[in-house]
Amino acid sequence: MPRARDDGIVPCMARTDTLNDADARYLAEIWEDCRDCLGPGGELLDVRREPGDEGVKLVARYRLGKRDRESAASGETTLAAHTVLRARILFDRIRFGFSDLVDHR
């Protein structure tokens, strides 16, 4: 399950009736993995599963610095979407960091 932030608030994932217990547990694991991918200074705000054209779509919303960001990935299964989302977050973290650096100058 998501851990408490520094201010003591525990972020929540929206749980819909379409998630069974196994899917909810796996989504909690995806939450932890995405949080770890963000690294220091990143704050995971939301992870959700949506129906997508390619099967499963996972969307992670997070805060880097003072900006809220979103990364999304699709796959035939939740596992496939998770694998792509993990890579997308790492890539987006680098991209957003570079963009912020260039925009700041």
Task: Write out pLDDT tens, residues 26-55.
Answer: 999 999 999 999 888 889 999 999 877 778
The whole-number pLDDT of residue 1 equals 47
Buried b or exposed e, range 58-79, using 16+ CB within 10 angstroms:
bbbbbebeeeebebbbbbeebe
Q: In this predicted structure, what is the pLDDT of residue 51?
A: 78
What is the pTM (predicted TM-score) of this model?
0.74
> Which H, E and C letters describe 29-73, residue by residue?
HHHHHHHHHHCCCEEEEEEEEEEECCEEEEEEEEEECCEEEEEEE
Strand, coil or helix: 94: helix
In the chain, the domains with their CATH numbers are: 21-104 (3.30.160)
